[in-house]
Structure 1
Amino acid sequence: FSCASGEYLEMKNQVCSKCAEGTYSLGSGIKFDEWDELPAGFSNVATFMDTAVGSAENKADSCNNSSWTPRGNYIESNRDDCTVSLIYAVHLKKSGSVFFEYQYIDNNIFFEFFIQNDQCKEMESTADKWVKLTDNGEWGSHSVTLKSGSNILYWRTTGILMGSKVVKPVLVKNITIEGVAYTSECFACKPGTFSDKPGSSGCQVCPRNTYSEKGAKECTKCKEEMYYSDEGSSVCIERPPCTNKDFFQIHTPCDKEGKTQIMYKWIEPKICREDLPNALTLPPSGERKDCPPCNPGFYNNASSSCTPCPPGT
């Protein structure tokens, strides 16, 4: 028995019903996209792996405080040389999958993802359990098929400390598990998102200069003359006074008189205010200046651009 995406199982009448506005469901899936705290069902286990005699006993106690840490939109791994597993157990009524996004940019930390069954036997689907590195600032994605029955999911990291160098942690977000039979409730849209129709399978991101709180049916506009917001914001931010970092200058091509005009433009989107005390305004454009000389090997033949010198000159 399963419900479609955008629906939940109404336990009393045993029928699938549409999720209300401001909420969503994956039908046969669950999604973890809010990490203000560790969601129910997740746990941390920290150990110290070392083959040197005696060192593991001394180190084991110091790993007690090592854990994955929720950071709002994602969860962050440990930065020390402890081995820490983020664990989630799920029982699937049918075969499914697990999907997550991650940032993993430092090869001084080992990052594994693997699955065990309830007999602690590692599943074949995670034979290649080492997760690939990502480019700096990029989010990669990883997905693995799951068999029906009990699945225990492990995200495991171990740092390798090299002198005083700080290890960059692994970040994980948007963990989605497909294959649960049904969900008995719909999930509220997280702050900065909304769903405006009943029966939604996901929430849309609030556009720029709007915001929303948790479970929103729509986004609320910021008072744009005083506040602004980026896409997916949960609050509006007060516009600061304009500074010289809010605009830039460009030079127009040289004219036949060998002059260029200096033009000033605001950096878009403009978020600052010119009407506040000590705020700068955009300098006037149009000032004409002499064009800089051509680079070595180039000359100006009374045109607006520099031309390479002919061969032999």
Structure 2
Amino acid sequence: MAEPGHNPQPSAREGGRTERRTSRLLWLLLWAGTTFQVTLGTGPELHACKESEYHFEYTACDSTGSRWRVAVPHSPGLCTSLPDPVKGTECSFSCNAGEFLDMKDQSCKPCAEGRYSLGTGIRFDEWDELPHGFASLSANLEVDDSISESTENCTSSKWVPRGDYIASNTDECTATLMYAVNLKQSGTVNFEYYYPDSSIIFEFFVQNDQCQPNADDSRWMKTTEKGWEFHSVELNRGNNVLYWRTTAFSVWSKVSKPVLVRNIAITGVAYTSECFPCKPGTYAAKQGSPFCKLCPANSYSNKGETSCHPCDADKYSGDVFEEKGSSTCKVRPACTDKDYFYTHTACDAQGEVGSRLRAPVPCSLHLTTVQAPVASKLTRETPKDQHDTAHVQMGHAKNLWRGPGGSRKASRLRREDPLPSL
């Protein structure tokens, strides 16, 4: 029963008001739906990912030592419909030297001919391009607003690969080279650097899982006075992010010389997901190689070779007493009188020693117009003294070689690497 004074039926005014509210709500819903469809229709449609557009990674290990293998696009938002995550290998899993982890079926496989792997280590010694996993970032130098608003645009101020090494910036920007690595055990990072100019601030440091820098090692690098220097830092187990950072300060408009870094090696990784091609001048003839061998003298190889190629008859590589492993062959110059050196025969029955002259391998006897001096005998001495003299001279002759141009080189000394022209 209705209460006194209350009409159970809505009035015409209230009914019209309700209908208008309902119509307005329906119109808003229709407008919102249409707008949503238009927005979707005008946006780019993502295609299903192809195998070449993504790679596999492992998630972080949980408390039970387990992890998952997930597919990650090479670029965010590139494609859709990625493979579903699958259970990964145990966190203690690793591959041997000469093998790589095929992430598709999660098994270790041998490196192909012409390639190598260190197993639980990785090495970067070729810088034709920025290797996978590295990032080069740049930023404006932060300066107090009362002094200066900011430096010039730094978007192009980055570390640049230059073949055998990577070079830093030389302007008043901060350039950072980064590499993130997960270690299954404690390891190290080693690299060589060339830092000739104190007008650049050069620092190297490592951050761990908690984004805390490694305080045990000084991050400020010292300038190099005699060429390339070796630097080594210990790494903790787990995630490590490596930073090479430079900032230049111009002095009297002087152009700074860049910092150079090469031969970065990291130990303690669980696996490598790819094998690295052999450098020019080296080769790997068999599958599953843990390293590449140097090409012998008078031969050469290109990148990723399975064997070395002999030099042409009028060319050579690898001087007699110098390091082997060449990527090119040089034209043999004509021999000159300075290209000959004395070598001594063994003592004869009379205690005398003869001398003869030989031309070293690099010069060409076919091009020379110089006549080799006639072999001679040493001055007559007492048999004992002469034999001792001959012994000393023979040892001296074996350890010294007079190359083209008359320069003498010690056979047991390591050849100095030529410094890059900056």
Q: In structure 1, what is the equivalent of residue 214 of structure 2?
A: 123
Does 1:44 find its partner at 2:170?
no
Question: Is 1:265–1:282's contact at 8 Å kept on the other side of the alignment?
Answer: no
Please give the alpha-carbon distance, in whole angstroms, between the structure 1 residues aligned to 2:103 and 2:182.
19
CA contact (8 A) 1:240 1:273 kept: no
Give, in whole Å, the separation in 2 of the partners of 1:208 and 1:135: 32
Paired residue for 2:196, among 77, 85, 105? 105
Aligned match of 1:152: 241
Evaluate the alpha carbon distance shift between residue 281 and residue 91 of structure 1 in structure 2; reply closer, same or farther with a 3 A threshold. same
**Higher deviation after alignment, 185-194 or 27-36:** 185-194
**Would you tell me which structure has more helix in proportion to its own residues?**
2
The two structures have a TM-score, normalised by structure 2, of: 0.55
Asked whether the equivalents of residues 100 and 175 of structure 1 are also in contact (C-alpha less than 8 Å), the reply is yes
- Contact 1:50–1:56 at 8 Å: present in 2 too? no
Q: Report the alpha carbon displacement of residue 285 of structure 1 after superposing the two structures with TM.
A: 5.3
Q: Report the equivalent of 1:177.
A: 266
Aligned mates of 1:187, 1:150 — CA distance in 2: 22
AA in 2 matched with 1:129:
R
Tell me the equivalent position of 1:95: 186
Matched letter for residue 160 of structure 1 = F
Shift of 1:15: 4.4
The SS at the match of 1:124 is coil
Does the aligned pair in 2 maintain the 1:68–1:84 contact within 8 Å?
A: yes
1:59 aligns with 151
* 1:59-78 equivalences in 2 (<5 Å): 59-61=151-153, 63-78=154-169
Report whether the alignment pairs 1:186 with 2:275.
yes
Alignment partner of 1:228 out of 316, 332, 356: 316
Matched, 1:2 2:109: no
Instruction: Give the RMSD, CA atoms, in angstroms.
Output: 3.2
Query: Residue type of the partner of 1:145?
Result: E
Q: Please, which runs of 5 or more residues in structure 2 have no aligned partner?
A: 1-92, 319-323, 342-356, 375-422
Q: Is the 8 A contact 1:191 1:214 kept in 2?
A: yes
**Bigger shift: 114-123 or 95-104?**
114-123
Percentage of matched positions with identical amino acids: 50
User: Deviation at 1:134?
Assistant: 2.6
In structure 2, what is the Cα distance between the partners aligned to 1:167 and 1:272? 43
- TM-aligned CA deviation for residue 179 of structure 1: 2.2
Q: Output the TM-score relative to the length of structure 1.
A: 0.72
Higher CA-based Rg: 2
Check 1:108–1:207 CA distance in 2 against 1; reply closer, same or farther (3 A cut): farther
Give, in angstroms, the shift of residue 166 of structure 1.
Answer: 3.3
Q: CA deviation at 1:55?
A: 5.9
Give the number of equivalent residue pairs. 264
Aligned to 1:204: 293
Which secondary structure state, in structure 2, belongs to the residue aligned with residue 73 of structure 1? coil
Q: How many angstroms does 1:49 deviate by? A: 2.7
Q: Which shows bigger deviation, 113-122 or 214-223?
A: 113-122
Read off the aligned partner of 2:232 and give its amino acid letter. Answer: S
Does the CA-based 8 Å contact 1:192-1:211 persist in structure 2? Answer: yes
**Aligned partner letter, 2:264:** I
Secondary structure, aligned partner of 2:97: coil
- Unpaired runs of 5+ residues, structure 1, are 251-263, 287-313
Amino acid of the structure 2 residue aligned with 1:41: G
Contact 1:3–1:28 at 8 Å: present in 2 too? yes
- In the alignment, is the contact (CA less than 8 A) between 1:241 and 1:274 conserved in 2? no
**More off after superposition, 49-58 vs 20-29:** 49-58
Q: Cα gap change, 1:272/1:80 in structure 2, threshold over 3 Å: closer, same or farther?
A: farther
Picking from 288, 306, 313, the partner of 1:217 is 306
- Whichever residue aligns with residue 222 of structure 2, its letter is K
Indicate how the Cα distance of structure 1 residues 88 and 242 shifts in structure 2: closer, same or farther if over 3 A, else same. same
SS at match of 1:43: strand
1:18 Cα deviation after fit: 3.5
Distance 2:184 2:340 in 1: 62
Q: Bigger shift: 156-165 or 81-90?
A: 156-165
Task: Measure the CA separation in 1 of the matches of 2:195 and 2:339.
Answer: 35
Cα displacement (A) at 1:36: 0.5
Report the residue type matching 1:28 in the other structure: T
SS in structure 1 of the partner of residue 151 of structure 2: helix
Note the alpha carbon deviations across 1:172-202, whole angstroms, 9 max, x for none. Answer: 1111122221123322212211123443222
One-letter amino acid of the structure 2 residue matched with residue 156 of structure 1:
R
How much has 1:58 moved relative to structure 2?
A: 4.3
Which residue does 1:132 correspond to in 2? 222
Which residue matches 2:120? 28
